[in-house]
Structure 1
Amino acid sequence: MSTNNASYTETLTLGQKSYLYYSLQKLSQGKELARLPKSLKVLTENLLRNLDGDTVSEEGIAAMAAWLKQGESNREIAFRPVRVLMQDFTGVPAVVDLAAMRDAVQRLGGKAEQVNPLSAVDLVIDHSVMVDAFASEQAFATNVDMEMARNGERYAFLRWGQQTFNNFRVVPPGTGICHQVNLEYLGQTVWQQQQDNQTVICPDTLVGTDSHTTMINALGILGWGVGGIEAEAAMLGQPISMLIPKVVGFKLTGKLREGITATDLVLTVVQMLRKKGVVGQFVEFYGDGLATLPLADRATIANMAPEYGATCGFFPVDEETLRYLTLTGRSEEQVELVEAYSKAQGLWRHAGDEPVFTDTLSLDMSEVVACLAGPKRPQDRVELSNVPQAFSLSHEQKIEQKVEKKQKHRLENEGGQTAVALDESLQSTEFSLNGSSYQLDDGAVVIAAITSCTNTSNPSVLMAAGLLAKAAAEKGLTRAPWVKSSLAPGSKVVTDYLIKAGLMPYLEQLGFYLVGYGCTTCIGNSGPLAEPIEEAIKKQDMTVAAVLSGNRNFEGRIHPLVKSNWLASPPLVVAYALAGNMHIDLTKEALGTDKDGKPVYLKDIWPSQHAIAEAVELVNSEMFHKEYAAVFDGDEHWRAIEVENTSTFNWQSNSSYIQHPPFFQTMEKEPAPISDISQARLLAVLGDSVTTDHISPAGSISADSPAGRYLQSLGVERKDFNSYGSRRGNHEVMMRGTFANIRIRNLMLENVEGGETRHYPSGEQLSIYDAAMRYEQEQVPLVVVAGKEYGTGSSRDWAAKGTLLLGVRAVIAESYERIHRSNLIGMGVVPLEFINDSASSLGLKGDELISIKGLSELTPGKELLVVIEASDGTKQEANVRCRIDTSNEMKYYQHGGILHYVIRGMLA
């Protein structure tokens, strides 16, 4: 094989147009590779197209053929996605870095305009809208106004980026959720780009700064979520290092029965794959059952890949892919191109396809039953009839108390509905709302949210919810008065088709008014409950519930007072809003009474498949054309934001959201030589399985934390702190929150939880941030020592960025999670790995001085010597291995980080 990949090109002609592509059939192993999973064929094409003899070698491509013999490989490859997808929480810091890079290039004699993404980047603002107002016609307008007021600084910055950077587009707030916009509009399945006056085509691939980027796999587009540093590398043309993954084949046969939804299917799939164990692996769906599975249902399954633990859940291209592309308004030319290219490259799904997989499992879809997942994890599937029992068991109370001993009695409310209350053996409390008195019972559903791209991308389940609402409203049912109900679709097309089907008025009648186009309740932006209800919950420490059509239901995520959270299909969300309590068995017990006082059961109002199909037929291409025609323009709020027309950003020193990061302030045109680390102090000594969630700032900001004190010094009131997520563009906030997790344990302190350490030689106990700043004043370098599996969990850019900004030069651990190890290098922090020792075997107390020798002559994988000097002057030594594993990583580290490497490349 030659490193000149031009010999592998082929021409595809459609009509008057010719396209150049890199042919897998031309590889020497072409026939053999035909048996690869289609997701690995996409990776193979990526390697072939980028074959350069350096970052991609012929051995990497040959490793794909070798994979077929074992179903796995330890080969590391360089993946170059053609585009990057971001949401606003994770995207803002990436754009901050781009803006800071422009300043650095200009300071060093280059032109600021040189700094632009080299790959296509789309940022969708979807994570900031909160459900403050609900159940009224004014809810949407009120929530939009509040969103713009809260996030003005961030949005002005992104508006500047939108008009300044090439290859960078921003989808404004109030438009949709990034993954649904990606599915309905951005994704192309086959990508086109100009190269040497020719149109080159290839599989559409991407990485995204959100774990549910996997949703796009439904369109035959390979993509997954990564941390911000990998995303920045990708958009600046740098490869992402990854191991050739194991691929588990999931065979689907049969078809869903009457009354069973895509949500029921995905919760079954999640449970099966979690039990199987697919963490870090690809899952590829195959089997003739795919022929009956609509693309929207595939998207629901692909979306939840993070919940079943896989890197992605891939669906090959077939007739259904073409149908969906046509429906959503892609051009006829693009649809023809997708078909022709997919067939030419062996990416098309044929009936009876049986690729080679690492392992397989299968599901007959006719066996799927109605279900929810809860109360804390998406993989904890519970059949609908067992929900009351599961709710009770989850709180370790006798089923007899909760199920057999409960007695129904009528609770009259304004709508004349009969709600269900429980007898005195269960917790309950009185509350008043809008002049009426009610009883709030154990198990009350206080949040019912049709939310999240997972399900709102699917017309079938949305129409089912609307039809169920229509039947319920016509019978005189209303939602329980303690339920906070909301409708937050992932795109404007959803409201268009609900209106066209005549279903929106019925959803509104039951309290499901539009509250915004964004993630809302699914990411915890559920907003406050009514004050009397919050007080009632606190008064008795009530166990109350949320039911949402989202993808994550971890404890504390949805609302701090809601301990029990359940994932359900949109029609079941409506049904639970009517029932008002998790103790009701919806398969047997009445949701309420009709206008004549007769009981109404779920089966009485559940829509037929025929009725749902008729409603779905109303969804047409014109709706997608209309809503996406001006997708980047935004509403009057967005267009009214004034920004300067400048090539560099005008940083505001008093901004609490956007600050100029210090990464490049002392950077020179040439990198300084790497030097040994001498007489460093330990900032923290950590145990096993310390995750990036422990290291990286997340969640709410407490007033007495370093970040809280900083915000108050700027005049920010506690009520306006917002979250670490919303302030990712301000390094001053984020570095103060690094290692500040309330559950982290620094072994330098006894019986202390939280981000504390001990400063030496003073011996004073301080917050990790305060100690780091004192060491900085003293010009003392810092080291972090950790145990096994350091940096597992979500790939968080600030776990590495914050580590660097605290002055940490090296991390020494027993083992690393691959992405966090890579991120540390990307920020110029060297990861070292104990060879025979550990923090415990060395007896580290925290007062030692650490010197690392051999860095000045560093090479990938080199063994180094660590000299540890105790406070009494005694010394011991430990051997460590440099976990800079590749020559590319070595380049990044030599330059002080990946962004520094890119800047110097531009200047050269």
Structure 2
Amino acid sequence: MAAVNSFGARTDLTVGGKTFQIFAVDTVDGYERLPFSLKVLLENLLRTEDGKNVTAEQIRALGSWVPEADPDTEIQFTPARVVMQDFTGVPCIVDLATMREAVADLGGDPKRVNPLAPAELVIDHSVIADLFGTENAFERNVEIEYERNGERYQFLRWGQTAFDDFKVVPPGTGIVHQVNIEHLARVTYTRSVVDAETGERSEQAYPDTLVGTDSHTTMVNGLGVLGWGVGGIEAEAAMLGQPVSMLIPRVVGFRLTGAIPTGVTATDVVLTITQILRKHGVVGKFVEFYGEGVGQVPLANRATIGNMSPEFGSTAAMFPIDDVTLDYLRLTGRSDEQVALVEAYAKRQSLWHDAAKEPAYSEYIELDLSTVVPSIAGPRRPQDRIELSRAKGQFEHDLAEYAEKPTLLDATVEGTFPASDPATAAPGDEDRSEDRELQPAGASFPGELQAAHVSHAPQHASNPVKVKGSAGEFTLDHGAVAIAAITSCTNTSNPSVMLAAGLLAKKASEKGLKAKPWVKTTLAPGSKVVTDYYEKAGLMGPLEDLGFYLVGYGCTTCIGNSGPLEDEISEAVQQNDLAVTAVLSGNRNFEGRINPDVKMNYLASPPLVIAYALAGSMNFDFENDPLGQDGSGADVYLKDIWPEASEVQATIDSSISTEMFEHEYASVFDGDERWRNLPTPTGATFEWDGASTYVRKPPYFDGMTLETSPVVDVTGARVLAKLGDSVTTDHISPAGSIKADSPAGRYLTEHGVDRKDFNSYGSRRGNHEVMIRGTFANIRLKNRLLDGVEGGYTRDFTEADGPQAFIYDASERYQAAGTPLVILAGKEYGSGSSRDWAAKGTNLLGVKVVVAESFERIHRSNLIGMGVLPLQFPAGETADSLGLDGTESFDVTGVTALNDGSTPKTVHVVATPTAHSAEGRKPVEFDAVVRIDTPGEADYYRNGGILQYVLRSLVA
């Protein structure tokens, strides 16, 4: 509840005989012209105003928002809840468990450590499609998943029972974002509050808002819920009741008109929107859909569009609340009382969509839905949209980049092709979350499609190879579809495309068509409701006839958990350098992400995934090439088996019911027998296993006292790394596979882990020992203390000649000597995805100060949250212009001013040459700007970090 009510916004709303306390946005001048999403933020500030972190000035600034202005006003957003997936959620719960022990050590009650904002975690990122194409594929994949991840699951199972306001959706249930829209999201949230003055208890209603540790948290934007992906530190802060710092954003108004034509899917719409918004540029902005066309967009389609917000670069992609929203809530089993509250609250707070009223927007875009055509996207970026009718020609053009020493065949195409030298994406041009485990470092969203009418495009390369696999002998060539996967929350949440896929499979099966024997066919829905309606519609059989057996309920192919190709196929691909392809109904298709054997990846709707499995190659023209022959020998084309829109709708109407959602979600947190029978520790504190290489107690609270220690100046610090511009959190944070000869690989080997069981950094995020060793270990990191060397290396100045060493090994020696460490960096330090281990690893390596030309906002805040001081070079100065080469010893004075309760604007830095410096060097002095930007951040830093701050508050 707001400690301050400057605008007299607190009032009552009665719905169905029940009265709720609300904070009315119409008490703030200018509210009526605000976009839908900013009204949600306005209510948030009114409800959390405390006169310190949330002030009347911030509220007035939001009310008087200037659409055209660049963001410059920082506000504190307090989400209603936090949603996590298992890769990124484990460290958050590890930290909570560690806080419980620290509270006990300080004489407090460990049971007081609980999420202060409700937190929900869905285990969906660990299932791998190892088995496919068989009836027992799902069961075996889940068994293997438990074998691989037993330690992590035991820990999460303990957390599910130990913490209040923390719920876990067990493995084999669904994908976090689909579970979120179908069950977890409330649209209007309620909680019981106590008036600080009168002691009276009342029920408060407010917009459902959230942050999630996965970029595609934005899927819930389609339901009218404001939320987006963040890093683990922001998620932990939100769980612990701390606000998320953000700038009031620019909001792009996206006007929709017309209706989606027959034969066009939601996937086609979202690929079109992705291309439009990437070209326009929406990084760091909100996108909001409005206009008369909004009412023509089904809720599932809205969720599909919202889901791909990180693909077009926006922070959020909001749809307003309207009758379509209410109908979806009813369909998915929300109570009549909840639906009535959502409607009444939205209308009272001007959050209800009125097509006749147009808010003010920073920028405007328009799309006539009737102009959308069937499309795919690829071969490596979501925004590289290709009209299906031109897909074969585009493939032939793109293949030249992937196929070595081709045999040239005749091909003449004319169309639109990617720029040959695409521009690099702007720094920070990425999502704000932790889920890009398998995306190559530096992968981004550069360039856009450019028109190029080519009369003689590069000719199609051919390298046919005979392969004898389990399905018989066949010929593989460039372009062969090695993986066809119906996967990812983006599309598996959408009944229209899922049932279209099932109906297409039925028609194909009836005509005797089969998937090609080299195609790995997988079906991984986002919730069990999908298989329920497939069964009721009689479509599971036809899907299985074509090889699309259930492989799991989770994020499989889209995040790289596609599992291996058949050995014979993999061997043929590698030995002959074949450019084989994957077609998936996902949202990410970056190079190297989907499968190590697959060079070219294409996003497509679920029915097109099946069509490409039947075709067996990207070198295929659906308009002119037959998919096969029926029983009478007649050619069968895609148009012959493509279901009519009316047939799809009739199947939706007859096969999907509210009872399905009610049944599947009635026991969604209970799990199957495997989950319930996991050997799980009991008690308020976790029983750490000293031999575990997955979950270990981190040292954040070692030696911590109830009283804060005075902030001290930094003296005698040495430079761990000198870095250039646009160093991203991908360069800093551990990600991807663990190499045997790396510090992390050595650690695992020393602890008895076989190379085949190393798993990935993502799966081991609950073990700080592995993660420290992977920090700054990216193979593309360029540390300018070394010449021409890439990777996680530095100079170790604890030795006389300053030899090259792994960054982790040097850090250990510095810390043993009691030497604090410094990072020197250029512009936009920490851009890209917000990753908690980019800051946690920095802290645990012994870094006390980062001096950069400029910071990405969220990483700067995360550094403070981990007790690391962010400093900025004086305006116009750089490390090079000041003559700093990184061999110096650094003293930073003036930091102690924080002990007086104030935050100094600058501190004094002296860089003194050492024995490792060139002769004749003189000390360099400058005043660095202190980038502690809010009172809350200053409190965190005084306490040594956000976790320590919250811990002391709880004990106090």
The alignment's TM-score, normalised by the length of structure 2, stands at 0.91
Aligned to 2:14: 13
User: Could you tell me whether the CA contact under 8 Å between 1:430 and 1:439 is conserved in 2?
Assistant: yes
User: Could you tell me whether the CA contact under 8 Å between 2:83 and 2:213 is conserved in 1?
Assistant: yes
Aligned to 2:638: 602
Give the letter for the 1:689 counterpart. Answer: S
> In 2, Cα distance between the equivalents of 1:448 and 1:722?
25
**Distance change in 2, residues 1:842/1:73 (3 Å):** closer
> In 2, Cα distance between the equivalents of 1:645 and 1:655?
18
What is the 5 A alignment of 1:547-626? Answer: 547-617=583-653, 618-626=655-663
Aligned to 1:857: 897
Q: 2:272 aligns with which of 268, 275, 288?
A: 268
Give the letter for the 1:393 counterpart. Answer: H
User: Could you tell me whether the CA contact under 8 Å between 2:491 and 2:605 is conserved in 1?
Assistant: yes
1:576-618 residue CA offsets vs partner (Å, 9 max, x unmatched) = 0010100101222111222222221111110000110011112
- 2:684 equivalent to 1:647: yes
The alpha carbon displacement at 1:316 in A equals 0.5
The alpha carbon displacement at 1:822 in A equals 0.4
1:475-519 residue CA offsets vs partner (Å, 9 max, x unmatched) = 111001110010000000000001100011000010100000000
**Distance change in 2, residues 1:138/1:879 (3 Å):** same
The alpha carbon displacement at 1:643 in A equals 1.3
The alpha carbon displacement at 1:44 in A equals 0.1
Q: 1:404 aligns with which of 401, 406, 411?
A: 411
What is the 5 A alignment of 1:69-108? Answer: 70=68, 72-108=70-106
- 2:812 equivalent to 1:773: yes
User: Could you tell me whether the CA contact under 8 Å between 2:6 and 2:56 is conserved in 1?
Assistant: no
User: Could you tell me whether the CA contact under 8 Å between 2:480 and 2:616 is conserved in 1?
Assistant: yes
What is the 5 A alignment of 1:26-175? Answer: 26-27=27-28, 29=29, 32-68=30-66, 70=68, 72-175=70-173
Q: 1:796 aligns with which of 799, 818, 835?
A: 835
1:72-92 residue CA offsets vs partner (Å, 9 max, x unmatched) = 541100100010000000000
Aligned to 1:892: 940
> In 2, Cα distance between the equivalents of 1:742 and 1:354?
49
Q: 1:752 aligns with which of 741, 765, 789?
A: 789
- 2:312 equivalent to 1:308: yes
- When structure 1 is superposed on structure 2, of 305-314 and 397-406 the one drifting more is 397-406
User: Could you tell me whether the CA contact under 8 Å between 1:71 and 1:247 is conserved in 2?
Assistant: no
Secondary structure at the residue paired with 2:115? coil
> In 2, Cα distance between the equivalents of 1:15 and 1:458?
32
User: Could you tell me whether the CA contact under 8 Å between 2:272 and 2:385 is conserved in 1?
Assistant: yes
Q: 1:840 aligns with which of 873, 880, 888?
A: 880
The alpha carbon displacement at 1:401 in A equals 4.2
- When structure 1 is superposed on structure 2, of 173-182 and 8-17 the one drifting more is 8-17
The size of the alignment, in residue pairs, is 889
Give the letter for the 2:856 counterpart. Answer: E
> In 2, Cα distance between the equivalents of 1:861 and 1:454?
47
The alpha carbon displacement at 1:97 in A equals 0.2
Give the letter for the 1:903 counterpart. Answer: L
The alpha carbon displacement at 1:404 in A equals 2.5
- 2:919 equivalent to 1:868: no
Secondary structure at the residue paired with 2:880? coil
**Distance change in 2, residues 1:402/1:575 (3 Å):** farther
User: Could you tell me whether the CA contact under 8 Å between 2:481 and 2:613 is conserved in 1?
Assistant: yes
The alpha carbon displacement at 1:6 in A equals 8.6
> In 1, Cα distance between the equivalents of 2:814 and 2:27?
59
User: Could you tell me whether the CA contact under 8 Å between 1:674 and 1:894 is conserved in 2?
Assistant: yes
1:614-659 residue CA offsets vs partner (Å, 9 max, x unmatched) = 1111211000001000000000110010212210011111101000
The alpha carbon displacement at 1:840 in A equals 1.7
- 2:526 equivalent to 1:490: yes
Secondary structure at the residue paired with 2:828? coil
Give the letter for the 2:749 counterpart. Answer: Q
Query: What do you get for the CA RMSD once the two structures are aligned?
Result: 1.6
> In 1, Cα distance between the equivalents of 2:22 and 2:204?
6
- 2:538 equivalent to 1:502: yes
> In 1, Cα distance between the equivalents of 2:878 and 2:489?
44
In the alignment, structure 1 segments of 5+ residues that lack a partner are 407-422
- 2:711 equivalent to 1:674: yes
User: Could you tell me whether the CA contact under 8 Å between 1:63 and 1:73 is conserved in 2?
Assistant: no
User: Could you tell me whether the CA contact under 8 Å between 1:33 and 1:41 is conserved in 2?
Assistant: yes
Aligned to 1:420: none
**Distance change in 2, residues 1:455/1:824 (3 Å):** same
User: Could you tell me whether the CA contact under 8 Å between 2:306 and 2:318 is conserved in 1?
Assistant: yes
Aligned to 1:460: 496
**Distance change in 2, residues 1:627/1:810 (3 Å):** same
**Distance change in 2, residues 1:609/1:100 (3 Å):** same
User: Could you tell me whether the CA contact under 8 Å between 1:388 and 1:403 is conserved in 2?
Assistant: no
Give the letter for the 2:605 counterpart. Answer: S
- 2:290 equivalent to 1:286: yes
Secondary structure at the residue paired with 1:179? helix
Alignment identity in percent? 58
Secondary structure at the residue paired with 1:47? helix
Q: 2:823 aligns with which of 784, 793, 802?
A: 784
- 2:227 equivalent to 1:223: yes
User: Could you tell me whether the CA contact under 8 Å between 1:23 and 1:45 is conserved in 2?
Assistant: yes
> In 1, Cα distance between the equivalents of 2:282 and 2:138?
40
Secondary structure at the residue paired with 2:14? strand
**Distance change in 2, residues 1:583/1:268 (3 Å):** same
Give the letter for the 2:873 counterpart. Answer: F
Aligned to 1:693: 730
Give the letter for the 1:270 counterpart. Answer: T
User: Could you tell me whether the CA contact under 8 Å between 1:735 and 1:805 is conserved in 2?
Assistant: yes
The alpha carbon displacement at 1:795 in A equals 0.2
Aligned to 2:950: 902
Q: 1:806 aligns with which of 840, 845, 850?
A: 845
> In 2, Cα distance between the equivalents of 1:218 and 1:424?
41
User: Could you tell me whether the CA contact under 8 Å between 1:761 and 1:847 is conserved in 2?
Assistant: no
> In 2, Cα distance between the equivalents of 1:638 and 1:99?
20
Aligned to 1:410: none
Aligned to 2:666: 629
Aligned to 1:877: 925
Give the letter for the 1:884 counterpart. Answer: I
The alpha carbon displacement at 1:390 in A equals 2.0
1:827-865 residue CA offsets vs partner (Å, 9 max, x unmatched) = 000000001421222333332111111111144461122
Secondary structure at the residue paired with 1:404? coil
**Distance change in 2, residues 1:63/1:403 (3 Å):** farther
Q: 1:656 aligns with which of 665, 680, 693?
A: 693
Aligned to 2:322: 318
- When structure 1 is superposed on structure 2, of 754-763 and 250-259 the one drifting more is 754-763
The alignment's TM-score, normalised by the length of structure 1, stands at 0.96
Aligned to 2:432: none
Secondary structure at the residue paired with 1:712? helix
**Distance change in 2, residues 1:68/1:482 (3 Å):** same
Aligned to 1:347: 351
1:156-204 residue CA offsets vs partner (Å, 9 max, x unmatched) = 0000000000000000000000000000000010001001221100000
> In 2, Cα distance between the equivalents of 1:301 and 1:861?
45
Give the letter for the 2:239 counterpart. Answer: M
> In 1, Cα distance between the equivalents of 2:708 and 2:89?
28
User: Could you tell me whether the CA contact under 8 Å between 1:23 and 1:345 is conserved in 2?
Assistant: yes
**Distance change in 2, residues 1:609/1:732 (3 Å):** same
Q: 2:762 aligns with which of 725, 728, 739?
A: 725
1:95-127 residue CA offsets vs partner (Å, 9 max, x unmatched) = 000000001111011111110001110000000
Give the letter for the 1:747 counterpart. Answer: R
> In 2, Cα distance between the equivalents of 1:44 and 1:424?
56
In the alignment, structure 2 segments of 5+ residues that lack a partner are 195-200, 414-458
> In 2, Cα distance between the equivalents of 1:458 and 1:402?
40
1:43-102 residue CA offsets vs partner (Å, 9 max, x unmatched) = 000000111111111111100122146455411001000100000000000000000000
